[in-house]
Amino acid sequence: MGPAILIASGSPGDALHDRAFSHAPARPKVAWIGAANSDSTAPFGRAAEAFARRYGAEVRHARSIGAGLDLDATRDAIASADVLYLAGGDVRQLAERLSAHRLDEAIRARHAAGAVTIGLSAGAIGLTRSWVAFPEDEEEGERPFRFPCVGALPQAIDVHDEESDWEELRALLAIWAADEPDAVVDAYGILAGGALEVTDGGVAHVGPPPKRLRLDRGRIIE
């Protein structure tokens, strides 16, 4: 399994990205996965320029959305990458688009094979097993529900939500407890300006310490 670096907030080329790319080989091949932001070309261009200049990276846009979609090229970009980079945006869109094309499987396989895997904001959440959605029309009886994400990492995380005391992360764990009464899940709220590193050696933080929670057979433990 390669190292995973989950960045709460930041921009390509900052100190947190420097730390993340320190795990990568020289002149790495990067698959930039922008499903969370509809494969927008502007953030891809900024990231590609910064990663090439700062780390000597060769960056490919591993697209999953849009006209003229070439999924073979996307799968090749993922399969050959030294670094998988999941950009920010909307977690649910990321999960749905990657699952629709079975790219979640490709990401899990490449991460398991040793690729450095970096998630930014929604991209970081999307690397885990599950996230929570809050329907807009609760008057119709719809309640928050848990949906599957890429599943490369066993932890539950949220990012830069310290002002609400991690309301969404707590909601996720509560639903998880109802769905799976025997589940045990380690959860982390990564503060703005911070990151979490997940390696074979365990979990470590960069920057401010994260909020730690644990779902233990129906109980949420602080």
Summarised one tens digit per residue, pLDDT across range 130-158 is: 999 988 755 555 788 999 999 999 999 99
Q: What is the pTM of this model?
A: 0.95
pLDDT in tens, 53-62: 999 999 999 9
User: What is the model's pLDDT at position 148?
Assistant: 98
112 sits in the region (left: phi over 0; alpha: psi -120 to 50; else beta) called alpha
Burial class (CB in 10 A: 0-12, 13-18, 19+), 185: buried
Supply the range of the domain harboring residue 32.
Answer: 4-221
15 pLDDT more than 90:
yes
- List, for residues 71-90, the tens digit of each pLDDT value: 999 999 999 999 999 999 99
- The total number of structural domains in the chain stands at 1
Q: What is the Cα–Cα distance from 125 to 147, expressed in whole angstroms?
A: 12
CATH number of the domain residue 96 falls in: 3.40.50.880
Distance, in Å, from the CA atom of 131 to the CA atom of 114, rounded to the nearest integer, reads 25
C-alpha dihedral, 174 to 179 to 182 to 188, nearest 10°? -40
